[in-house]
Copies of this chain bind each other. A is one copy, B any other.
Amino acid sequence: MSVKDFVQQRRDDFISLRRDFHMYPEPAWLEYRSAAKVAEKLIALGYDVALGAEVLDLDSRMGLPSEDVMKAAMARAMDEGADPELVEKMGYGKTAIVATMKFSDDGPVVAFRADMDSNDVIESKASNHIPAKIGFRSRHDKAMHACGHDTHMTMGLGLAEYIATHKDGLKGTIKLIFQPAEEGVRGAKAMVEAGVVDDVDLMFGMHIGFNEKLSNCFACSDHGFLATTKLDAVFHGYSAHAGGSPEKAQNAMLAGCTAVLNLQAIACHSQGASRMNVGVFESGTGRNVTPDVAVLKLETRGATTEINDYMIERTKTIIKGAAEMHDCTFEITKQGETPAGRISDDLAREVQEIIEPLGIFKEVPFDYSGGGSEDCAYFLNRVIDRGGRATYMVLGSAIKAPHHNPLFDIDEEDMLNGIVALGTIATHYLK
């Protein structure tokens, strides 16, 4: 059966699957229910499924939550139907999966990567927000699939099912990578360091969404990846009674606010795009106590590693100066990091030739540079470094609000088209 027909036949199931994932969003390193569901299905389809410490270099993980938080997430996942044995096997901070199916000794190793984690966003209850309207809004407090990873898992499983059920005549090996902790670019490095793509010849990453103009388009590469680093900064001051002895304070909130304004004011770099975002700021314990602590969660980005390094250096200088201004101490810790990703232009051109004839996309541009960061870069760069080829594709969708916004939503038809595209690419290279 053609991929198109297959997807048409299974469309309701794929939509249900996506909505199920959407209802149970799990933040980075806590994807127990999602990963268990994914693994279960892959096993049922006949894949060799490796997970947990088998596919992670534990020391390369970044930005892990506390064990308490992980424990609670494991319990909740099991409450919500995750297979306890799989959850147990993943254990603390090991929610990674690699599924393999070998067709022949000759032929290429072709890998696809999907990510599984959700965002720290409270999903909108607005009546025009489809998940709220139809009833598959997030069941989890302060968590939402606001970046489309629910569809990524669904597309990965759709691809897995198509290949498993149409494997006659295929050569080589397919490798399906389900990565934890893409948000915060914390998870890919540990999988790459564990060697999971060291044997890969062709590597494909993909992301849904981006913006309205790209609706129903399929871009064969993204040259616009930004290198990024995720940092936490904590200021420690001294708290005093705000009315009775204000002069004794070492005001960590003033240090923090001064840092935020100056961080956001770091000069642009002439050699390419740069970004600063202080995404979270928490300071103070009580209204009438001068604040003795301030916590900043921030990220830098740069079109190149050099530009990102410039941002980091300025960040450190600013935080140090802000602390000193208010007689505070401080510490800075790294929570995640990824380089800019490389693309094999020839592979992207081939993809363009493979996808265009499908006739399901309005346009199939060679490139779309979205300006985001993605630790898929680790996979791409490792494969290219070892002589393979790699690209990262963009599946445009008419999103209702920017990524990470409480109103974010994609068009499910685009997700279905995505499965067709992935199935077609896989079949092409495995034939």
Contact = CB atoms under 8 A, between A and B. Distances in A.
A261 B402 CA distance: 26
B277 A246 contact: yes
A183 interface: yes
A169 interface: no
Nearest to A238: B405
Interface string A297-326: 111010000000010000001101111111
B246 A268 contact: yes
A23 interface: no
Given A258-B258, A283-B281, A241 B403 contact: yes
A372 interface: yes
Chain A contact-residue range equals 35 or more
Interface in A116-133: 119-122
A283 B284 contact: no
A290 interface: yes
Interface stretch (A8-16, A83-91, A96-104, A248-256): A248-256
A317 B321 contact: no
B184 A404 contact: no
A66 interface: no
Contacts of A230: 287-288
A119 B286 contact: yes
A179 interface: no
A37 to B, nearest CB: 24
A129 to B, nearest CB: 14
A275 B405 CA distance: 26
Q: 6 closest A-B pairs (Cβ-Cβ)?
A: A321-B325, A242-B277, A264-B265, A120-B286, A257-B257, A279-B287
15 contacts: A122-B285, A211-B245, A240-B402, A241-B403, A242-B275, A243-B275, A244-B402, A247-B310, A261-B261, A261-B265, A277-B290, A278-B291, A280-B284, A284-B297, A321-B325
